[in-house]
Amino acid sequence: MESVEGVATRPVKIKDFKRDPKRKARRTREERSEEIRQNLIQAGARIVGRYGYEKASVARITAKARVALGTFYRHFRSRQEFFDQLLPAMGDRLMLFIRSRVDAAAVGAEREEQRLKAYFAFMEEHPWYHRLLNESEVMAPKAHAIYLEQMAAGLVRSFKRSQRRGELAAFDESELRTLAYIVMASRVYLATQWGGYKEKNRTPPEDVLQTYTKFIQRALFV
């Protein structure tokens, strides 16, 4: 789903301090707990991106997050449970990032081009992301399946909005899921060509983006 790229947290409830209206409200225990959990997710993603799942020990993850080992196990029952939640959580962040970079007024192939550019912008900021994704199929298959579903569902929702605007008229609603996987595969393999976890990811040259846009325009929006 083009929904995100982060995990939603509960809204902050700010109390009315009569003596000092500028005084900041104290965070609740739940809010502090969620912040720690998110720090562990971010740290874990970076550790997996650098060392791979096999060498991403709880000790390395907690050291990166600057928390005690016991803190990890208050949030996750095991390392595998953590891995099973890691990729979907980062997928949420990716989708939120893409949404923030796409012009709400953009339509058709232009919108898809903006999504691709946003995808690469995210990869530039998170060069370890594709190792996290690629190794998950073997090391965290549950997370991998959830991630693919959330990405596809987001694109399907977007395609349905396109159809309500009169676009994608050549396709039935039952075909949108297949289209979503075709677009997802295009992004992943272009990212494989133009970046990698051992080097800084980079946005493809303009001619590559133009070729992608031409393909999307002729394949989907004719």
Is pLDDT of 84 > 80? yes
Please tell me the distance from the alpha carbon of residue 84 to that of residue 71, in angstroms, as a whole number.
18
Distance set, CA 183 to CA 81, 88, 138, 200, 202 (Å)? 29, 19, 23, 23, 19
Half-sphere exposure of 143 (CA within 13 A, CB side): 25
Q: Is residue 24 part of a domain?
A: no
Is pLDDT of 18 > 60? no
The encoded tokens of residue 192 equal 């494989």
Q: Is residue 182 part of a domain?
A: yes
- Cβ neighbours, 10 Å, residue 129: 26
pLDDT higher for 190 or 162? Answer: 162
What is the predicted pLDDT for the residue at 7?
A: 40
Number of domains, the chain: 1
pLDDT higher for 203 or 16? Answer: 203
Phi, psi of 5 (to 5 degrees): -75, -5
Rounded to the nearest integer, the mean pLDDT of the chain is: 86
Q: Which helix (H) or strand (E) holds 83?
A: helix 79-101
Identity of residue 216: I
* Percent of the chain's residues with pLDDT above 90: 63
What is the predicted pLDDT for the residue at 147?
A: 96
What confidence category does residue 195 fall into, taking pLDDT thresholds of 50, 70 and 90? low
Q: Is residue 137 part of a domain?
A: yes
3-state class (DSSP) for residue 199? strand
Q: Is residue 199 part of a domain?
A: yes
| Each residue's pLDDT tens digit, 86-142 | 999 999 999 999 999 999 899 898 998 999 899 988 988 888 898 999 999 999 999
On whether the CB atoms of residues 117 and 190 are closer than 8 A, the answer is no
Adjacent-strand bridge partners of 5 = 92
Is pLDDT of 10 > 70? no
3-state class (DSSP) for residue 65? helix
Is pLDDT of 44 > 70? yes
CATH code at position 187: 1.10.357.10
**pTM confidence score:** 0.79
Q: Is residue 2 part of a domain?
A: no
Q: Is residue 144 part of a domain?
A: yes
What is the predicted pLDDT for the residue at 25?
A: 56
Q: State which residues form the domain around 157.
A: 29-220
Is pLDDT of 9 > 60? no
Q: Which residues neighbour 136 within 8 Å (Cβ) at sequence distance 6 or greater?
A: 53, 83, 86, 87, 143, 144, 147
Please tell me the distance from the alpha carbon of residue 205 to that of residue 212, in angstroms, as a whole number.
11
Q: Is residue 9 part of a domain?
A: no
